Each structure stands twice: as structure tokens, then as C-alpha cells.
Amino acid sequence: MQNKGIILVLFYQLVNNMILIKDVMNALEGWAPPTWQESYDNSGLIIGDPNAPVTGVLTTLDCTEPVIDEALAKGCNLVIAHHPIVFSGMKKITGANYIERTVIKAIKNDIAIYAIHTNLDNLAQGVNGYWAQKLGLQIDKVLIPMSNLYYKLATYVPLTHADAVRQALSHAGAGKMGKYDECSFSTLGKGSFRAGVGAQPFVGTKGTTHFEEEVKLEVLLPKHLSKQVITALLAAHPYETVAYDLLPIANNDPQTGAGLIAHFKEPIPIEEFLSHLKSVLAVPMIKHTQIISPMVQKIALCGGAGSFVLPFAMAQKADVLVTADFKYHQFFDADGKILIADVGHFESEQFTPQLILEYLSKKFTTFATRLAETNTNPVFYF
């Protein structure tokens, strides 16, 4: 009986400490919200049951059949990849190509696949920020800030409860602007209402128009936190029916977006910089435009296919743009004003699985997060 009791206690401890796939998803999406991904992207849970317990996590740049095999061998039932294995619509899953074969193998073996792609690209301390640290650069700012990431919430609160509602909104994630929090604006005014049949008014008398001194409270909130902020508002507000406005804001967010501008403390010779790039990225060669300046200091970075950031890097007067996937004619667009260094797509994002691993290892200790050993780079050099 005593042994059964111990087993029962251990069972309940296991259940209570069990981490589900959705718990890992929530952690990742609090870090790099899905609302930050580009419209063409397919980040998020691609395959799997969000309510399944996690036995282990494998982080990788790409999810391929060999990666699924590695996950099985290591006891990991969740693969977190930077690039989505399913990027566009699939009409058939017959194993006709590597995408379909990977999907089939994952489903057959109960392996969940989660992608954290352009939303992690657009996190300032994400793909590009981590890469900048590896290169020894100091980050200045996001190269192309995103917009339309915020709502403005306006609500009307009696004077006696204004502070309580303001604090509740702040605790739920509203009122953060850059390096500041608890940001809000208040306007005094007079509200009016008449409680009808069946109402339970906080103040006033049923059937009689009531005037109340109120505060119009305004805060900004990230779109991905709107549900929890509104929930907090309704819980803290004393009125039976809460009046509020939720308005989209088109402002840029200087902390979120594509690419980075960074710099070295002191200018360094361009040849030294290119050699440094080759060493840190472990690449045999770097494609680049004509060298136009013997020294460089301001560097634009964009992991992955980053030719679209060139005009922005030039506008910031960067000495070099380091990215990948430039086409032949696009190299001409440097026009003698900037050096383009194309280091390769895989190479520019190769540190991303380690970034994800480090983040999850700090968040969860009840399962192992492993770095995939499978090299998924489809490009070889001779």
C-alpha cells in the first residue's frame, strides 16, 4: 500500500509538472508574436496536437526527413524550425516531394512541427540581433520598422476607480512604449447614462438619467495582447456595461521590423571585416560588390533573403549590407554607394536554432531542448 501511495504521488507530480505543446507555443508567441510575421508567411503550429505533452524539443533551421529521424532518435516529439516546412497550400499529400514526405513522417510518428519565421526575423533581438552579437557589433536600431502593430484603447472610468483600472491595464501588458511602461493619458469629463429594466447600475437610479464625473483613460497596447487587456479591463472596471473604444494605430514601432543597423566601436579595414565574416560564419567564400572604401564601421544586417532592404541601408549610409540571395542584376543597385556582401541564406541564419534553444532552456527545465545536428543546408561549395 505504501508503494502504491508513493507511485500515486509521483504520478500526480508528473501530471502537474507536465508541459504541453501549447505551453511552449505560448512562450514562443509571447517572445515573437504571430502578428509580427509577414503576410506571406506560415509561422505557428503546422503539424501536431497543441494539447500533447512535450517529451523533448529539437531546434533546427529547416525541418526535413533527416531532422524528423533525429527527433525520433533523441526522444523529441516537437521540432521547432525557423523555416516553415509548409509554406503555401497543399492539395495532396502523397509523398511526391520532400515536403510531403516530411509531413507524412512527422504525422506517422506523432512529431509536432512548429515554425517561428518572419516574426522572429522582425524581433530586434531575434535573428539579426543574435547574429550581430556573434559578429561583435553594437546594435543601433531596426532598419525597417513595422507599423500597425498597436491598438489605442480608450475607456471611461469613475474617478474612484481610475487608478485601479489603469494598474490592471498595465499589468495585462498595455501602456508600454519603448523603454517606458505604465504610459497612459487621462482626461476629466462627465458621463451620462440611464439604467433600464433588469440593470444593476454601480451608481445612479434605474429609470433616471445619471451624470457621473469620469476619467477618459487612454493607453496603447500590442495587438497580440488585446484579448488579455480587454479581459483585465472588464474585470477591474466597476460598471456593469463597460464603454471602450479599440482603435488601430498606424504608427511605426521602432523596436520591431526587418534588418538592423549596427556598428563597430572603431572603423576596421574592409578586408579584415570580410575575413571576420568568413570566420564567424564558417563560409569558404563571400560574394560582394566592388570595394569602395578601405574602412568600414556602420553595418546593415538582414538574415535570409534581404535584397529588399538595400535602399533602406543606403538611406542610413551604411558602409556594408550583409545579407543573402541577391540576384546578379541586383548587385548593380549598390551603385558605388555601399558594399553588398552576400554570405548565403543558410549561413546568415545558422545561429537561429541556438537562439531558440537558449530562449526555451531558460523558460522550461522539465524537458530537454536539443540542437539539431543534421545539416540542412542544400547548398555546397567545391
pLDDT at 335: 96
Mean pLDDT of the chain, nearest integer: 94
| Interval 351-374 mean pLDDT | 96
Output the nine-digit C-alpha cell for 187: 482626461
Which residue is associated with the grid cell 554570405? Answer: 343
pLDDT at 72: 97
pLDDT at 178: 83
- Write the pLDDT tens digit of every residue in 97-121: 999 999 999 999 999 999 999 999 9
Q: How does DSSP classify residue 250?
A: -
- Write the pLDDT tens digit of every residue in 270-300: 999 999 999 999 999 999 999 999 999 999 9
Q: Is the pLDDT of residue 10 over 70?
A: no
pTM of this structure: 0.89
| d(C-alpha 48, C-alpha 68), whole Å | 13
- Write the pLDDT tens digit of every residue in 221-272: 999 999 999 999 999 999 999 999 999 999 999 999 999 999 999 999 999 9
Output the nine-digit C-alpha cell for 46: 503546422
Confidence label for 134 from pLDDT (cuts 50, 70 and 90): very high
Q: Is the pLDDT of residue 12 over 70?
A: no
pLDDT at 33: 96
pLDDT at 350: 97
| d(C-alpha 86, C-alpha 376), whole Å | 16
Going by C-alpha positions, the residue among 97, 123, 140, 125 that lies closest to residue 261 is 140
Confidence label for 5 from pLDDT (cuts 50, 70 and 90): very low
Confidence label for 89 from pLDDT (cuts 50, 70 and 90): confident
Q: Is the pLDDT of residue 52 over 70?
A: yes
Q: Is the pLDDT of residue 375 over 80?
A: yes
Strand order in the sheet with 295-305: 138-147, 252-269, 295-305, 320-324, 339-342, 287-288
| Interval 343-363 mean pLDDT | 97
pLDDT at 92: 92
pLDDT at 353: 98
